Amino acid sequence: MEAVECAHWLQEEDICHVLARKETPSKEEILEILAKARELQGLSLQEVAALSAVTDPALLHDMFATARAIKDEIYGRRLVLFAPLYMSNYCQNECLYCAFRKSNRELKRHALSQEEIADNVRILIRQGHKRLLLVAGESYPHGDFNYILDAIDTVYATREGASEIRRVNANIAPLSVEQFKSLKARGIGTYQLFQETYHRPTYARVHVRGAKANFDWRATALDRAMQAGIDDVGMGVLFGLYDWRFEILALLQHITHLEQRFGVGSHTISVPRIEPASGSEMSSNPPHMVDDLDFRKIVAILRMAVPYTGIIMSTRETKEMRRETLELGVSQISAGSRTDPGGYQSDGEFEASQFQLGDHRPLAEVIEDISQLGYIPSFCTGCYRLGRTGKDFMDMAKPGLIKEKCGPNALSTFKEYLRDYASPELAAIGTSAIDKELAAMLPKTRALAERMLEKVDSGKSDVYC
Ligand code: SAM
Ligand code: SF4
């Protein structure tokens, strides 16, 4: 392992100082912060701490309305869809909340072979997926990291009819700069890594053995990814391990650090809450359980604090919770997921899963639901394919220009999905959602979208701008 940098940007004292404020923020103060949030310039640590202290129902209502308005302004109605692909549940670590941890004898272990990876990918392509997130425990067959590189090649090389996966993201253990370079060379999209908790004492308590026990190796992993040229990185906190107010302030310190060092912060933030996992007492009774109201507050505050960063919600959440939280700022969701290696090939056997899912619906059902709620499901991979990543992406997003691309790309990829995979009923629902969206677009964007939709109608696939 190369020398471990210290995560010097994490200033626990500053966070504790901000959180120690005694008086409840006044109504006027909160309204002023919300007005500032609407200017889409982000928020300071003090402002975020003040919002996290709000309990008054009328102010909460205003807070949620502000988050909704920001989400509409920047992301419109599109929602990007992806599926995780769990490659292996072998792991050398002892994370007390996770079923994959080394000492868990209840778990059936398996690492997918490259052939099995291809089989699972074909199943996901047949469902209509275009974006995959590769996930693995921290232990590769024969201790060989090439397993991950081969898996990326396998996914990109797999075809089902004329279709393919167009973007592979990864959520795997921290790597060295050299390893990140090889990941980048294989065409990885986003490298995603959750710090789990930014609170060092809690981190030490819940990660008792293995490489993951080293807080700083993990907290500086995204620096190494960026040094290696991976400019789309995703962060996350595993909510439930420690006080969420502390965690979101630390997360913002992390983002600010990357912005200062590399000119671009986090491409996405994931907001997993701990779910029950086999053989893990802690997962059924998390030390700092986040209830549904606080969870909605977290999403809304993050939407206001870092308006241009995507927020990802997984199928850990129930369909009801996902519906409520989508409008507050979530821009990407997983759908039809399994968290056991090979899960897409089997029915009902979950003894190899990482944790329990809250939303078990297949992709088509999720699509029907979100289309009826007024969203446009998007399978867009345009930015990645055109090299619009990292700072280039943010430079377009900040002046509001990215919406002109995302809107038409969402429609063309949704139309392609409806053409290739939907039942006649779902196609009718989706077509009406597309028509509504077209009617709400500015004339120039609409003209572009219509030209792209015509191409899809004439049989063309992978139409993007
Ligand atoms: N093994 C790698 C690591 O830990 O970074 C990457 C894959 S790990 C399977 C992905 C994420 O799953 C972890 O970062 C953690 O946040 C999440 N996770 C683990 N146990 C969980 C649980 N019981 N409920 C919800 N999420 C969990
Ligand atoms: Fe292993 Fe990751 Fe699970 Fe920890 S969270 S036990 S590192 S798979």
Closest residue by CA, ligand 2 atom 8 = 137
308 φ/ψ angles, rounded to the nearest 5 degrees: -95, 0
The DSSP bridge pattern shows strands 233-236 and 188-192 to be parallel
The rounded mean pLDDT for the chain is 93
pLDDT tens, 251-293? 999 999 999 999 999 999 999 999 999 989 999 999 999 999 9
The DSSP bridge partners found for residue 81 are 333
- The distance from CA 160 to its chain's CA centroid, rounded to whole angstroms, is 26
Of the ligands numbered here, which is closest to the C-alpha atom of 93? Answer: 2
Closest residue by CA, ligand 2 atom 6 = 101
pLDDT at 1: 60
Model confidence band, residue 350 (pLDDT cutoffs 50, 70, 90): low
Ligand 2 atom at minimal distance to the Cα of residue 91: 1
Question: Could you give the CA distance from residue 72 to residue 375 in angstroms, rounded to a whole number?
Answer: 11
CB atoms within 10 A of CB 208: 14
Q: Are 335 and 316 in contact (CB under 8 A)?
A: no
The DSSP bridge partners found for residue 270 are 236, 312
Of the ligands numbered here, which is closest to the C-alpha atom of 211? Answer: 2
pLDDT at 270: 96
Model confidence band, residue 351 (pLDDT cutoffs 50, 70, 90): low
Ligand 2 atom at minimal distance to the Cα of residue 207: 4
Model confidence band, residue 353 (pLDDT cutoffs 50, 70, 90): confident
What single DSSP character describes residue 343? G
Probe ligand 1: pick from 85, 98, 194, max atoms within 8 Å of CB?
Answer: 98
pLDDT tens, 63-79? 999 999 999 988 889 99
Question: Could you give the CA distance from residue 102 to residue 303 in angstroms, rounded to a whole number?
Answer: 36
pLDDT tens, 311-323? 999 887 888 888 8
Q: What value does the mean pLDDT take over residues 165-191?
A: 97
For 212-229, letters b (16+ CB in 10 Å) and e give: bbbbebbbbbbbbbbebe
167 φ/ψ angles, rounded to the nearest 5 degrees: -145, 125
Dihedral sign (CA 82, 92, 280, 108):
positive
Model confidence band, residue 428 (pLDDT cutoffs 50, 70, 90): very high
pLDDT tens, 234-258? 999 999 999 999 999 999 999 999 9
pLDDT at 343: 85
pLDDT at 347: 63
pLDDT at 247: 98
Q: What value does the mean pLDDT take over residues 210-227?
A: 97
Of the ligands numbered here, which is closest to the C-alpha atom of 135? Answer: 1
Probe ligand 1: pick from 86, 145, 194, max atoms within 8 Å of CB?
Answer: 194
25 φ/ψ angles, rounded to the nearest 5 degrees: -60, 140
pLDDT at 114: 97
pLDDT at 218: 98
The DSSP bridge partners found for residue 84 are 133
Q: What value does the mean pLDDT take over residues 33-37?
A: 98
Q: Are 85 and 167 in contact (CB under 8 A)?
A: no
Closest residue by CA, ligand 1 atom 18 = 98
pTM: 0.96
Dihedral sign (CA 15, 216, 101, 154):
positive
pLDDT tens, 358-413? 777 889 999 999 999 899 999 999 888 888 888 888 888 877 777 788 899 999 99
For 169-205, letters b (16+ CB in 10 Å) and e give: bbbbbbbeeebbbbbeebebbbbbbbbbbbbeebbee
The two tokens of residue 99 are 């079923």
Model confidence band, residue 186 (pLDDT cutoffs 50, 70, 90): very high
pLDDT at 256: 97
HSE, side-chain direction, 13 A CA sphere, residue 91: 32
pLDDT tens, 145-159? 999 999 999 999 999
Model confidence band, residue 348 (pLDDT cutoffs 50, 70, 90): low
Share of the chain above pLDDT 90, in %: 81
